[in-house]
Structure 1
Amino acid sequence: MHQGLITLLNTKKINQVPIKELTQTSSVARSTFYAYYDNIDNLLEEVEDTFIENLNTLDQGITDPAVNNFTYFYEVLSYVEKIAICCQPY
């Protein structure tokens, strides 16, 4: 459902995404959506939290003296690029 929401947000604002369209895009039943989320805002919050957690995990590497700063920045930029690619309209 994360990817389905990201795909829809490329063309719509969050308040314009109906749950029916989200579930169709994500190939899940409406009941599945409601089993995990109360509303689309809850899903959006989870998507944002996942991105932040992944960046925080990468950030921990900068305090590790064994990690080269170039490697750290390369990993962060690679992650951001991956997010940008997955968020491009199809």
Structure 2
Amino acid sequence: MLAVKIAEVFGWERVPVVADGHAPLVLHLLSPAGRPVAVTSDLASFWRTGYPQVRAELRGRYPRHPWPDDPTTASPTRRAAPRTRER
């Protein structure tokens, strides 16, 4: 089991495997706040089917964070966009 923020696995097409390639890790995907939003051992399927719903829910809650249309081609990141100062 690996708990990781969803933006840190952008660009991944598969879940890492252990035991000489016989056991895929189970990913607990977290929101930018560190709350669980999904659990998967099939990342390719998650990007196609689960991610669009997760993206729709989290985009409004975390607007400074990247929510790419195609997460398989996006670069992984730990950072949010900087806040803009209002005057």
Normalising to structure 1: TM-score of the pair?
A: 0.32
- Greater share of strand: 2
User: Computing the radius of gyration over CA atoms, which structure comes out larger, 1 or 2?
Assistant: 1
- Greater share of helix: 1
Higher relative contact order (CA 8 A, sep 6+): 1
